[in-house]
Amino acid sequence: MSVDGPFGLSERDPGLAAEVRIGLSAVEEGLTEATKSDVPFITEAAQHLVRAGGKRFRPLLALLGAQFGDPNAPGVVPAAVVVELTHLATLYHDDVMDEADVRRGVPSANANWDNSVAVLTGDFLFARASHLLADLGQDAVRVQAGAFERLVTGQILETAGPPEGSSPIDHYLNVIAGKTGSLIAVSGRIGAMMAGVDDSAVSILTQYGERMGVAFQLADDVLDIASDSQELGKTPGTDLREGVPTLPVLYLREYAATSGAPEDRALCELLDGDLSDPVRHAEALAGLRGHPALQQAKQHTIRYAREAAEMLGPLPACPAKDALTDLSEAVVHRAG
Helix axes 76-98, 115-134, angle to 10 degrees: 160
In a domain, 68, yes or no: yes
In a domain, 115, yes or no: yes
Same domain, yes or no: 138 and 272 = no
Cα separation, 148 vs 25, whole angstroms: 25
In a domain, 6, yes or no: no
Same domain, yes or no: 240 and 188 = no
pLDDT confidence band for 6 (50 / 70 / 90):
very low
Same domain, yes or no: 181 and 304 = no
CB 67 within 8 A of CB 77: no
Q: 85-136, pLDDT tens digit by residue?
A: 999 888 876 666 655 555 555 656 565 566 777 788 888 899 999 999 999 9
Same domain, yes or no: 27 and 176 = yes
pLDDT confidence band for 1 (50 / 70 / 90):
very low
In a domain, 288, yes or no: yes
Q: 293-308, pLDDT tens digit by residue?
A: 999 999 999 999 999 9
Cα separation, 57 vs 206, whole angstroms: 15
Q: In terms of residue numbers, what domain contains 255?
A: 212-335
Number of domains within the chain:
2
Give the pLDDT confidence score for residue 112 in this predicted structure: 58
In a domain, 81, yes or no: yes
Same domain, yes or no: 26 and 154 = yes
Same domain, yes or no: 217 and 185 = no
Same domain, yes or no: 174 and 224 = no
Same domain, yes or no: 168 and 301 = no
In a domain, 7, yes or no: no
Same domain, yes or no: 185 and 249 = no
CATH number at residue 23: 1.10.600.10
Question: In 10 A of CB 260, how many CB atoms?
Answer: 9
